[in-house]
Structure 1
Amino acid sequence: MTETDSPRITELRQHEEELVFASFDHHDAWRLGSLIANRAIAAGHGVAIDIRRHNLVLFRCVLPGPTADQEEWIRRKSATTLRFERSTALLSEEFAAKGFDPLQGGWLAPEDYTLAGGSFPVRVRGTGVVAAVTASGLSSDDDHQLVVDSIRTFLKDPAE
């Protein structure tokens, strides 16, 4: 932790260090996506869930409640995660701590990227980031937590 790191930034970095996959294929995407969807259903959350490798969608589920806007949020959130290979929640906190908005001044096009939380990198040990898992429909923090809690559960028992 550096002098400028908040406890939240430290927590978000720990998520990324902790939640690393041994491998990740299309079957894993289906199982993880289904786990997130079942968790959301049990909690009564209306969310859209997406797992993708750049333009290849590996899993998609839209539960009752989200609007058509969630499609755009998912596209922009996952593009941000895949570009920076970090969660949108972490990027949002880090940029805010620096007082810098990459969506202003032409660095990142706001129609293509967002810093709203809810997209998390699928990082495979020894390989790097291979996909993004994204939820949209709740608050940014709740979207992020739904994904993180589900990945944590999946990694404890990937055969479920």
Structure 2
Amino acid sequence: MSIEDLIKQTQNEEHTLRFKRFTHNDVFPLGLTLIKEAQKNNVSIAVDITVNGTSMFHYKMPGTTRINSEWIERKKRVVNYHLHSSYFMQLWAARSEVTYNEEHRLDSSFAAFGGSFPITLDGGLIVGMITVSGLTPEEDHELVVNSMRIYLKEREVL
């Protein structure tokens, strides 16, 4: 799949994986969905769900370290700054001849690599983000997106 196709796919994910509402009661079951998907795929991840600037769920599976938490924070900054998934920004930057950080004049505390996805309400308001670290950027993104689909489907939203 070309970068342009992946960008369109990621934009589509951002427009379709939305919540009618997102409350504190969604945080824990959504976090568990991410962990169960990682276990099902026999991978180890760190996961964070941040709502309105506050980390509401943070879990590191065996095999992850503080470095994974640092990557989570760097990816979250990208979502917060651009209001797009970190994978979308990674793909967008891949089209350029300069790095993401050079293009946007941002320091290394920002990391445009897949794994952080906005929590968006139906009206377009972004209330937080779900972030994963531990796999390749593409796999981190895929795990978040698949887990969101499962969670939304279980609640008969999709």
Q: Look up the match of 1:68.
A: 66
Shift of residue 14 of structure 1?
1.0
Instruction: Show the counterpart of 2:89.
Output: 91
Question: How far apart are residue 5 of structure 1 and its match?
Answer: 6.4
Matched to 1:7, the amino acid is D
Q: Match of 2:47?
A: 49
Secondary structure of the equivalent of 1:98?
coil
Of stretches 124-133 and 114-123 in structure 1, the one that deviates more from structure 2 is 124-133
Q: Is the 8 A contact 1:47 1:135 kept in 2?
A: yes
Q: Distance in 2 between matches of 1:86 and 1:156?
A: 22
Could you state the TM-score of these two structures normalised by the residue count of structure 2?
A: 0.90
Structure 1 residue ranges (4+ consecutive) displaced by more than 6 angstroms after TM superposition = none
CA distance in structure 2 between the aligned counterparts of 1:137 and 1:85, rounded to whole angstroms? 22
Q: Report the AA paired with residue 17 of structure 1.
A: H
Structure 2 distance, partners of 1:67, 1:81, is: 22
**Runs of 5+ consecutive residues of structure 1 not aligned to the other structure:** none
Report the identity percentage. Answer: 29
AA aligned to 1:157 is E
Would you say the 8 A contact 2:30–2:148 is kept in 1? yes
Q: State whether residues 118 and 147 of structure 1, in contact with CA within 8 Å, keep that contact through their aligned partners in structure 2.
A: yes
**How many pairs were matched up?**
155
Does the aligned pair in 1 maintain the 2:3–2:91 contact within 8 Å? no
Aligned partners of 2:57 and 2:79: how far apart in 1?
A: 16
From 107, 111, 114, give the equivalent of 2:111. Answer: 114
Higher helix share: 2
Q: Distance in 1 between matches of 2:52 and 2:22?
A: 15
Unpaired segments ≥5 residues, structure 2? none
Q: Summarize the Cα distance change of 1:154–1:97 in structure 2 as closer, same or farther, 3 Å threshold.
A: same
Would you say 1:27 and 2:25 are equivalent positions? yes
Q: In the alignment, what sits opposite 1:6?
A: 4
TM-score, normalising length from structure 1? 0.89
Q: Contact 1:77/1:119 (CA < 8 Å) preserved in 2?
A: yes
Assess if the C-alpha contact under 8 Å between 1:52 and 1:133 holds in 2: yes
